[in-house]
Structure 1
């Protein structure tokens, strides 16, 4: 199995260091719910600044707020606030923390996967079955979510 995961030299080997990937799918799911609640609260804070016209384009407002939230939090600490709560962080294929460019690309691909049912289902299935618990967007970028504090 190690031959299949060799393209990511900076990430921990899931066979030898399974603790880095322990419970990652569950932690990511909980973090996703926390982040969705935070984005909801942020959209409520933004609504008065749109003179409440944001109610007419609320799904678009949600997408913009969510995108900015994810890029800023991931680039600032390699994890969203929900991920930090769950002690999870994202790493590049080199094993480095995310910068602004990495966070932007990860969020863009995540948003595209989330926008369509089939890619989202494939991504969720991959998180449950791949050695590094990578979603479709993670696999495309060579990134992985790992347990923080073990690195």
Structure 2
């Protein structure tokens, strides 16, 4: 009997993930609402595909980011991390909640506080990225399925 490669379940859920952002732009909905709905869709898609290796990291990252948004009404961005990432030009913009979602505030442990060149990430962002990277890498090879 031949084993099968795990397959992506309900791919249409992933196609729906940008829908809250698009509707929010046209209907002038609060960014915190559209971001929360987007994280919810990512979480549902990840849960439906939890049989794939690495997806639990994606799910964990989405939950961490959703928790940060829920607790803070948006995603806090650490001012020191912003400076270390070379993005100090955005301090005033974020201090005024310029995009309605990100704002300048101490962000540890859930918010954006991890500086990289040109960006500041949250632990949830890193978990999502690592999970998406590991999912295809941890798939069994076809020759190992015989």
Regarding TM over 0.5, the answer is no
TM-score, normalization: structure 2? 0.35
TM-score (norm 1): 0.34
Task: Report the structure number with the largest CA radius of gyration.
Answer: 2
* Structure ranking higher in helix proportion: 1
